[in-house]
Structure 1
Amino acid sequence: MTLLIQEAQDEREDVQKKTFSKWINSQLAKKKLEPVTDLFFDLRDGSKLLALLEVLTEKPCKKEKGKMRVHHLNNVNNALQILRDYRIKLVNINNNDIVDGNPKLTLGLVWSIILHWQVQDVLKGIMKEAKQTNLEKTLLAWCRQMTQGYEGVDIRNFTTSWTDGLAFNALIHKFEPELFDYDTQLHKPPAQRLEYAFKLAHKYLNIDRLLDPEDVNTTYPDKKSIMTYVMCLFQVLPHDTVDMQFADPSYAPPLPRRQAEAARPARPSSFLSSGSGVDINTYSTILEEVLGWLADAGARLEAPDGDSDSLAHVKSRFKAHEAYMVELTERKADIFEVLDEGKRLLTEKVTAEEEAEIREQMRLLTLRWEELRQRAIETQTQLQSRLAQVQLSAMDALRSWLTGMENRISLTAPLGPDLSTLPAQAAEHAALAAEVGRWKPHVTELFDVLVVEEDGDDSEFANLEDHLSVLSERWNFTVSWSEQREQHIAQLQRHWPQLHEQLAQLKDWVDGQEARLKAMEAEPTTEQQALQQQGSQLQVGEQSRLVEIAPRTRCFNIEVLARISV
């Protein structure tokens, strides 16, 4: 199992290597420089790395032309210093790693370069305006915002959300709708959609083909490779504003005005017709209705949510509270409208008693609203923390279960060796498959959304994604193994009656042949012609019978096959 996971990681590393090489070559081509052919080897002497930085910085970079290791180390060190001058973080990367051709650290170095020069400068202003420091979240928000309303597109990450090709087509169609009919892509297979999107982007947007369909249309594609390509799209497509609310996969944008009015909970009736300039009696009525809504909203906030700590339950509570927060935002205008109306009434001629009543009502409304808002924020923080913890617990539980399941798989004997053992093996696998089936909804819930606590940093988010990636690979292997074994058992079960009959025939034939041999041994003959005739009869009978029966019985009775061989 560890070997299979390593193979999947190696596959993603190969895709990343290819994508990053294409990106570097697209930059070097701007100055007609020689491309890289083997990323890990070509960057070892530092010359290609410095050439790349000359293109990106548009400044000359000092190179040492010697071919000794010391010259290579100096060149790479110069490149790393240039990156530090541009305030690019290089974690645990030194010149020896690059000169030695360390795959992981070489890819990490190139990824840091791509992040900085591909969109960092473009995104800097947007991220500052949105008070956001996470580039990945900002890019995800833009993708989700731009593809809202496109059938079949639900971008939740930079891996599995892109495998069917629809997300790439939707992004291009959003800004270039005259190029093609999006609906026609819905009926095409994923590989064709991906190929079509990459061709369009290359032809009309001048984006190099950094990816091939097979790089994306896989169980768990490489995130950094897809992000690199999406960053190229972001750079050339309009991106004036990014609504960071879209970074949350559960966020639902406001409905169009007429739909929103139909779907919104009923507002206090007096607000629909009162307008401005109400008298003090009408104002009191409106205020009572708003205070009634605040009391109802407070009661809903205090409603018990049950003791279940299942991921599905906590996630449902989290999403329900998000809808609650949206409702609060919509009602905020009502609250301030009432307060403004109270201020207007105070400017008119009112008695001292009426003025005191209005001020007390405004004070009470402000107090109740602020209390509700603070409690809602605290509840949101608690739910987010609770969801993050439950999510981690669910990951630990899945990790533990997968380890046990992988051990069971490794100890599972091959089917057979005879028909008598197959029913027990089928029953054993049915129990295993049922257990896998019981875990499927939990795994789906776990992979559906990734939540970290508000005070969590970007590295924590990245680590969680990495852990989910590994768990996804292990889960996919377990499901695949279970399905394949189930299919094999079903195929054998369909042929059981025939195999039983053939095996019985084969046993009868072996018994007969053995009896003939014993009879020959009891009445030996020295006549050459008689011996040849007996041997010929045995050979013909044996060959015809084996051709008819033995291949179909395969290895289901070792004893019989051994007797045949003798």
Structure 2
Amino acid sequence: MLNKLKNSWKLKALKCCCFLQALLNELQPDSAWIRIQQNTFTRWVNQKLQVANLQIANLEADFDDGLILIRLVEILSGKSLGKYSRKVTFRSQKLENISLALNFLERDEKIKLINIDSSAIADRNLKLIMGLIWTLILHYSIAQQIWDELPDEAPVQLTPKQKLMTWIKAKLPSGLPLNNFTSDWNDGVLLGALVDACIPYLHLNWKEWIPNNALESTRKAMDIASERLNVVPVRYCNGNLKRYFFVTFLPNKLSLFKLITPEELINPAVDEKSVMTYLSQFPQAKYRPALGYVEDLDLSPFISTVSKFTLRTNSGSTIPKVTILDPNGGTVPAELEKVSSMIYTVKYTPKIVGQHQVQGKTILKVFTVLLLLYL
């Protein structure tokens, strides 16, 4: 009897907690998708600003004097906005700078801005600032793309979202369903199929991927897109092991920025604007074949012992540059010896036990150094 009474109270308490949590979720704004979108938009802005050696840290605050906004608009449009206040002291100067950028977007670039004025930006209205950034993404990263591979039967008048959806559907294998830019991308399978379609002879085996391995699958697809396509790569830290994926940068020096992370893409709360921002890179991504590859790499070399491997290039004109990193991110000295026009021997002596990496353009190899015991 006593046990039944205890169980009854436990059940009631559990129901009460669930009700309170549900109520709390309704009262509080859903912050997960806002955080993801803010992260994505910040990364997109920084990706564009890099050509001017500028960065922002706070999407909400860093546009309030108009200086960064003006530079961003100049970079996106390729046009100069003329004279403006570079030393901002008064609010009136902030409003003038912001108005200069907004008026230019509407007058010269024919971009319609809804409910966005200089006061909202100066007053750090995050909702309207994010609305402005999305308008810029939609116009410059999606609508103004050259859609060379759109199907001939596609309607002439398509919205930017419809263009991106149509292009991706045409790339994906027939019969693979794509209905949205949110939940359809949560398990990594669609992204794997898209990457596989963009890289000849890749054979990614994405059909064997299962939803339970969503994070692993998404990471793999993103890594390959970063390494083999000019899709802005992801740089992330997995536990204590830092993994870097190097690419040949585009002419405007796009650097190692994350527009969205694997963890964010598989989050059920991810919003379509963040996903579209990341995917908008694919139509202009160009497949870049590997410049070389590693052979005869000892995956378990010993500490303080000379080890070597072979590096083959795909062209006699390619001059390889190889970096070996230890577990702390330090560089292990390596000696590069030319065997023939396309074959090199690389010698090195690891000094630290643990996971190391061989890096080069389009090359990433991981091996673990073991402790040599003398008995």
Q: Tell me how far 1:157 sits from its aligned partner.
A: 0.4
The reply to whether residue 19 of structure 1 matches residue 40 of structure 2 is yes
Give the conservation status (yes or no) of the 8 Å contact 1:118–1:235.
no
Q: Trace 1:349-360 onto structure 2 (pairs within 5 A).
A: none
Secondary structure of the residue aligned to 1:90 is: coil
Q: Tell me how far 1:10 sits from its aligned partner.
A: 2.0
Tell me, in whole angstroms, the C-alpha distance in 2 between the residues paired with 1:49 and 1:175: 34
Q: Tell me which residue corresponds to 2:270.
A: 221
**Per-residue displacement from partner, 1:315-372 (whole Å, max 9, x unpaired)?**
xxxxxxxxxxxxxxxxxxxxxxxxxxxxxxxxxxxxxxxxxxxxxxxxxxxxxxxxxx
Secondary structure of the residue aligned to 1:39 is: coil
Q: Tell me which residue corresponds to 2:252.
A: none
**Are residues 169 and 4 of structure 1, via their aligned partners in 2, closer, same or farther at CA, if it must alter by over 3 Å?**
same
The reply to whether residue 83 of structure 1 matches residue 108 of structure 2 is no
**Are residues 97 and 124 of structure 1, via their aligned partners in 2, closer, same or farther at CA, if it must alter by over 3 Å?**
farther
Q: Tell me which residue corresponds to 2:133.
A: 110
Q: Trace 1:22-41 onto structure 2 (pairs within 5 A).
A: 22-31=43-52, 33-41=53-61
User: Structure 2: which amino acid aligns with 1:189?
Assistant: N
Q: Tell me how far 1:232 sits from its aligned partner.
A: 1.1
Q: Tell me which residue corresponds to 2:68.
A: 48
Q: Tell me which residue corresponds to 1:136.
A: 161
Q: Tell me which residue corresponds to 1:121.
A: 144
Tell me, in whole angstroms, the C-alpha distance in 2 between the residues paired with 1:177 and 1:8: 44
Q: Tell me how far 1:182 sits from its aligned partner.
A: 2.4
**Are residues 14 and 137 of structure 1, via their aligned partners in 2, closer, same or farther at CA, if it must alter by over 3 Å?**
same
Instruction: Pick the structure with greater CA Rg.
Output: 1
Q: Tell me how far 1:214 sits from its aligned partner.
A: 1.8
**Per-residue displacement from partner, 1:270-300 (whole Å, max 9, x unpaired)?**
xxxxxxxxxxxxxxxxxxxxxxxxxxxxxxx
Give the conservation status (yes or no) of the 8 Å contact 2:38–2:130.
yes
Secondary structure of the residue aligned to 2:115 is: coil
Give the conservation status (yes or no) of the 8 Å contact 1:132–1:138.
no
Secondary structure of the residue aligned to 1:144 is: helix
Q: Tell me which residue corresponds to 2:312.
A: none
Alignment match of 2:221 (pick from 182, 193, 197): 197
Higher strand share: 2
Q: Tell me which residue corresponds to 1:70.
A: 92
**Per-residue displacement from partner, 1:252-273 (whole Å, max 9, x unpaired)?**
xxxxxxxxxxxxxxxxxxxxxx
Give the conservation status (yes or no) of the 8 Å contact 1:76–1:95.
yes
User: Structure 1: which amino acid aligns with 2:259?
Assistant: L
Secondary structure of the residue aligned to 2:280 is: helix
**Are residues 178 and 42 of structure 1, via their aligned partners in 2, closer, same or farther at CA, if it must alter by over 3 Å?**
same
Q: Which moved more, 1:127-136 or 1:198-207?
A: 127-136
Runs of 4+ in structure 1 off by over 4 angstroms are: 5-8, 123-129
Higher helix share: 1
Q: Trace 1:434-453 onto structure 2 (pairs within 5 A).
A: none
User: Structure 2: which amino acid aligns with 1:118?
Assistant: S
User: Structure 1: which amino acid aligns with 2:265?
Assistant: V
The two structures, once aligned, show a CA RMSD in angstroms of 2.5
| TM-score between the two structures when normalised by the length of structure 2 | 0.58
User: Structure 2: which amino acid aligns with 1:9?
Assistant: D
Q: Tell me how far 1:53 sits from its aligned partner.
A: 1.3
Q: Tell me how far 1:8 sits from its aligned partner.
A: 5.7
Q: Tell me which residue corresponds to 2:178.
A: 155
Tell me, in whole angstroms, the C-alpha distance in 2 between the residues paired with 1:52 and 1:6: 36
The reply to whether residue 234 of structure 1 matches residue 256 of structure 2 is no
Secondary structure of the residue aligned to 1:40 is: coil
Runs of 5+ consecutive residues of structure 1 not aligned to the other structure = 239-566
| TM-score between the two structures when normalised by the length of structure 1 | 0.39
Tell me, in whole angstroms, the C-alpha distance in 1 between the residues paired with 2:96 and 2:272: 32
Q: Tell me how far 1:168 sits from its aligned partner.
A: 1.2
Q: Tell me how far 1:191 sits from its aligned partner.
A: 0.5
Tell me, in whole angstroms, the C-alpha distance in 2 between the residues paired with 1:127 and 1:115: 21
User: Structure 2: which amino acid aligns with 1:44?
Assistant: D
User: Structure 1: which amino acid aligns with 2:172?
Assistant: T
**Kindly, what percent of the aligned residue pairs are identical?**
29
Tell me, in whole angstroms, the C-alpha distance in 1 between the residues paired with 2:159 and 2:207: 35
Tell me, in whole angstroms, the C-alpha distance in 1 between the residues paired with 2:190 and 2:143: 22
Q: Tell me how far 1:165 sits from its aligned partner.
A: 1.0
Give the conservation status (yes or no) of the 8 Å contact 2:64–2:124.
yes
Q: Tell me how far 1:29 sits from its aligned partner.
A: 1.1
Tell me, in whole angstroms, the C-alpha distance in 2 between the residues paired with 1:170 and 1:127: 18
Secondary structure of the residue aligned to 1:41 is: coil
Give the conservation status (yes or no) of the 8 Å contact 2:32–2:270.
no
Q: Trace 1:300-319 onto structure 2 (pairs within 5 A).
A: none
Secondary structure of the residue aligned to 2:61 is: helix
Tell me, in whole angstroms, the C-alpha distance in 2 between the residues paired with 1:197 and 1:179: 11
**Per-residue displacement from partner, 1:152-185 (whole Å, max 9, x unpaired)?**
x421001111000111111111020434522476
**Are residues 180 and 7 of structure 1, via their aligned partners in 2, closer, same or farther at CA, if it must alter by over 3 Å?**
farther
Q: Tell me how far 1:13 sits from its aligned partner.
A: 1.2
Q: Trace 1:508-547 onto structure 2 (pairs within 5 A).
A: none
Alignment match of 2:123 (pick from 97, 100, 109): 100
Give the conservation status (yes or no) of the 8 Å contact 2:48–2:75.
yes
Tell me, in whole angstroms, the C-alpha distance in 1 between the residues paired with 2:207 and 2:127: 40
Give the conservation status (yes or no) of the 8 Å contact 1:97–1:106.
yes
Give the conservation status (yes or no) of the 8 Å contact 1:185–1:193.
no
Runs of 5+ consecutive residues of structure 2 not aligned to the other structure = 1-21, 233-257, 288-375
User: Structure 1: which amino acid aligns with 2:125?
Assistant: N
Give the conservation status (yes or no) of the 8 Å contact 2:189–2:207.
no
For these two proteins, the number of residue pairs brought into alignment is 235
User: Structure 2: which amino acid aligns with 1:73?
Assistant: L
Q: Trace 1:146-295 onto structure 2 (pairs within 5 A).
A: 146-149=171-174, 153-183=176-206, 186-187=209-210, 189-208=213-232, 209-236=258-285
Give the conservation status (yes or no) of the 8 Å contact 1:207–1:232.
yes
**Are residues 224 and 52 of structure 1, via their aligned partners in 2, closer, same or farther at CA, if it must alter by over 3 Å?**
same
Q: Tell me how far 1:95 sits from its aligned partner.
A: 0.6
Give the conservation status (yes or no) of the 8 Å contact 1:119–1:235.
no
Give the conservation status (yes or no) of the 8 Å contact 1:50–1:75.
yes
Choose between structure 1 and 2 for higher RCO, CA contacts under 8 A separated by at least 6 residues. 2
User: Structure 1: which amino acid aligns with 2:102?
Assistant: L
Secondary structure of the residue aligned to 1:42 is: coil
Give the conservation status (yes or no) of the 8 Å contact 1:93–1:109.
yes
